[in-house]
Structure 1
Amino acid sequence: MAPKKVKSGRISGVKKPKRITVETKKETIAKHENGACVSDLTMQYDMAKSTICTILKNKEALKAAVVAKGVTILTKQTPKLLDEVEKLLLVWINQQELAGDSVNETIICEKALHIHRDLLVTLPSTSTASVEEFKATRGWFDKFRQPTGIHSVIKHGEAASSDKKATEDFVKEFNKFVEDEGYVSHQVFNCDETGPFWKKMPKRTYITQEEKALPGHKPMKDRLMLLLCVNASGDCKIKSLLVYHSENPRVFKCNVLKAKLPVMWRANSKAWVT
């Protein structure tokens, strides 16, 4: 039997090439000029010897390059003005990230246009005539996103609004209290509540190529509240408390005994733990 053909680019187990930032390349060149040999640099940066040699071969262009942090590719086609726009834009994105503000593709493209217009004002009139019109299109955004490494993520829960320092201080104080009072892990309990929207559908979906849009729908906001409690050793789980807005839902009329449910059933008009 003839051996099966393996499609190019589909071989399993092949590692994808690791992108090396321009900063790392400059650092490699500096260490080589200070006396480090290629073998040492290969072990230190976990690169192939040929990769190190290629970096050293292009050291003049790399040393002269002034790019934003995180950039991995040098392109000769990028105009100097656009390169300055992208550097300032990456700084702005980093500031928004530190401030906890959300930015999407539309906001980033709008900001890029504002930065470009501001830089055009600072240029002499003779230079602005030769500058091509900049349009922050989807294609430009993809080219900007790939070398800089920015990517879309989902902001989860209350992590962004939590006080990390206060949490760390509380852990230290609580551990000291437990030790001073002589408690063991069986006696230390933690209790917290969570409110799942049990009828809510996902916000994102896929549609077929023939469809252009999906009709909107009003999301279901019917929810319940769960109060969970367990000790630190994990061998004592208290029966969960479930709070719903109805004392006797319609489904309970079908011979459902609340006393036999795996949770303690309580009712509140807003499904709150009061």
Structure 2
Amino acid sequence: MSSRRDLPLQQKVELIKDNNYGNGLTQRKLAEKYNISLGSVSNVLKRKAEYLNDYETNQNQNVKRKVMNVNAQKLDEDVYEWLMQQRSKNIPISGPILQEKAREIDALLGDKLGSFKGSNGWLNRFRTKHNISFRAISGESVSVNITPVDDWIQRIPKIIDGYDSKDIFNCNEKGPFYRLMPDKSLTLNKEECKGGKKSKERYSVLFCVNSTGDEKLKPFVIAKSLKLRCFKHLNVNKLPVDWRANKTAWMNVKLLSEWLSNLNILMEKQKTKIILFLDNAPCHPVDIELSNIKLQYFPPNTTSKLQPLDQGIIHVFKIHYRKYLVKHIIARSATAQTSNDIKVTALDVIAGFKDKQHDDITTAITIDLLASSADSTEPIDDEPSKYLEKLDDLLQHVTIDGQTMNAVDFIGIDNDTPAYNEWFDNCEHLVACDIKKTR
């Protein structure tokens, strides 16, 4: 009796060719040749059009089984089509970006899969099915054309001519995992509590400061819900952050236009005119009229070289916030029975964003920085190493499967997380996906 086993795609195609649409080997002969049951042979031949199409469209030939309902198939096709579009434009795509896009597409499909999470397991299956590998590349700076960077450096004095240092501003978005626990199974002092998961609940946060560092605007936070239980007795308009929400927790043209309009009103009241440097990103409006703000966009694909906030200030902010988060976890662990007892609410996040230690970030974005950031790959601030040491000390109290987490890994774990729809060019470490050609 033939054993029951699944054939790789390539062998299924060979079996179909051996059958030659009924004019070749019989099903019994095929079962003997490939050492499978008659039922398996029949199933392969019934699905021959599907398998031949998979083979021609570069599906992984080592995949043995493909069981997918219609809704999952539609999602898979749409995600793969989007991925091919991005790669055709030579846009690097990381695993987290692909997962986030899959969730967005699922929502657009009406969440027909119900509980689709875009998990790491889904990502691994998607990669295997489509024969995709991810390889690290050395950041956006690899693809930066040095000519526009040099031209920009030459233009800086003219661009900022007529503006006082205090009237030169810079803004940038990031998408931190705000509830990210520094462990997979959190070990408390009382007992070992297993089963905790890293939370990848994300906010998008817009940071904005002036070049002298003495005016830091309230963080503009975009969540997925505007009315939260912890806000029940609070006036959201009086929070130390500007709180907004949409379905994806991403920055978009509408929200940024609102933020710019409010900033313009503030500058009108102060009778001040400012210049605001920002990325050339899809969510940044180009046709908005502002009486007191001049928008100055960095040249396309040069953010990693020219964006001042990316040169260390946001990095230090993340260190401080994660340090606050670890302290919060340690404090709650004194009474928690399990990791599920340790909650991080939106108010905790806001407190972390506005923790007084953030005032330790004394490095300002100076006029010199705007002109020199392209010549340096080092962070502006020479303090991050000191902050990282303090975070490392705190992380000794929480573990990952019995081992402590490195502060550098903890800070950088969400570097590639988008703050808006479409690819953003200001992450430190990009990951490109290769579609392997097997024929």
TM over 0.5: no
State TM-score, norm by structure 2: 0.25
Per the normalisation by structure 1, the TM-score is: 0.38
Structure number with greater CO (CA < 8 Å, separation at least 6) is 2
